[in-house]
A and B are shown apart, each in its own frame.
Chain A
Amino acid sequence: MLLNVENLHAEVAEGGQPILKGLNLQVEPGEVHAIMGPNGAGKSTLSSVLAGRDDYEVTDGSAQFDGEDLLEMDPEERARKGVFLAFQYPVEIPGVSNKLFMQTAVNAVREERGQAPLDMFDFDEYAQSKMSTLNMRPDLLERSVNVGFSGGEKKRNDMYQMALLEPKLCIMDETDSGLDIDALKVVAKGVNALRSPERSFLVVTHYQRLLDYIKPDVVHVLYDGKIVKSGGFELVEKLENEGYDQIIQSHETGQ
């Protein structure tokens, strides 16, 4: 199993408000899981906790990644071992060029894998080779990280980073939000190009459209800090037609 989350409880580090309340999630290598759920359910929190953001404190439960205790690791260590988070809101870093940023990141991951670092020229070549699948404008690489990028360009840049780092687990937090139809296809194409028997995806989304393109193996509904329902692709269609009310109601009466 690539990711095994059991009974995960997490709260806001400052204030102690509980957000994840006993979450279970198992992802096998090569699988694509979609996570849906109403606003405020805890989807971004789950993504952040898995990536290691210290705004949240895990109070109970466990998360194993590739057989190791994920929660013990610093965020950079998780990234080096193959966890990638595409942010709901990618962050701007003024003055740091996208290229230098990504060269540093790629070499950090290479170091972890026991590979020699790429120098400027090798990195340039590598960066070029990954650019075409995502229709990345080459000048975005020369600019400061996400500064002055449009919303769609930021998301695309995150996808591009994901392609460069070749992670094992890709967590995509609402990567499809704010994308136009063409950009959405590009992102879906990028994801599909990265799919492999070893690589898994956790795709957080509110909409069916992206999932139409990437066909998840499992669909989960996250509500009030827990996975309340899991199923196949048919669950997406059901939600699209009926909304969350029924699932939430049956979950709450079932309790």
Chain B
Amino acid sequence: MSEISLAQQKFLLTQKKHRRTVTISRMCIFLCFLGLWEGAVRLQFIDSFFFSSPSRVVLCAYNMAADHSLFGHIGITLFETITSFALVLIFALIITIILWFNKKISETMEPYLVILNSLPKSALAPLLIVWLGANYKTIIITGMSVAIFGSILSLYTSFQSVDPEKIKLIQTLGGTNYHVLTKVVLPACIPSFFSIMKVNIGLCLVGVIIGEFIASRQGLGYLIIYGSQVFKLDWVIMSIVILCLLAWGLYSLLSRLEKGYQKRMS
């Protein structure tokens, strides 16, 4: 190993200290929050019937895990989210490629895409349920409806931002539009494809939960809405916590994929 100068050592040390402080502070906030919450309930400052408490949430999760009902709910929500996410990616890619190949189609479709994208998608969910029935397919489509239009628009923008000189290069090498797509546009758009994925995994989850609110007998969205109706706030809060963990887990999975790709490219 090469020698590290004193100044560099000092710099590294301060960096390490800084990171440690941040980590500890984060933990502190989390623990204080849990402590205050639990304490406030125990001392009856707030009513555990409405506010639940950390220990009750854990207990509730433990009981539901013991009778396996919890895994069913998590599983179905996860399945619906991942399916709608995968379908969004596939359809967004196919549609964007079609738009990219044909300027007439893309210009014709543009205002529709923009309007559909700015529409609050939760407004569509009740309609979808009436049309398609209350089943998991409807929920998957609700999830897709939240993410697909934005994905197409951002993907199309990144297709458009490919350097025209690079496209000219392919033409000088005798390539056709198909080569421009496969040799330049798609590889050049992989980084933006990753960031689009990271945004949209969260949106799919939102869509799925909206769908489950109104059309499901299963899943975390159902637990939340049902729990709030029968005043089982333990269920509601537990589901929210699990949703947080799910969203974080899915996001970091994609981050890891992205890092892996970046590493392979350097």
Are A and B interaction partners? no
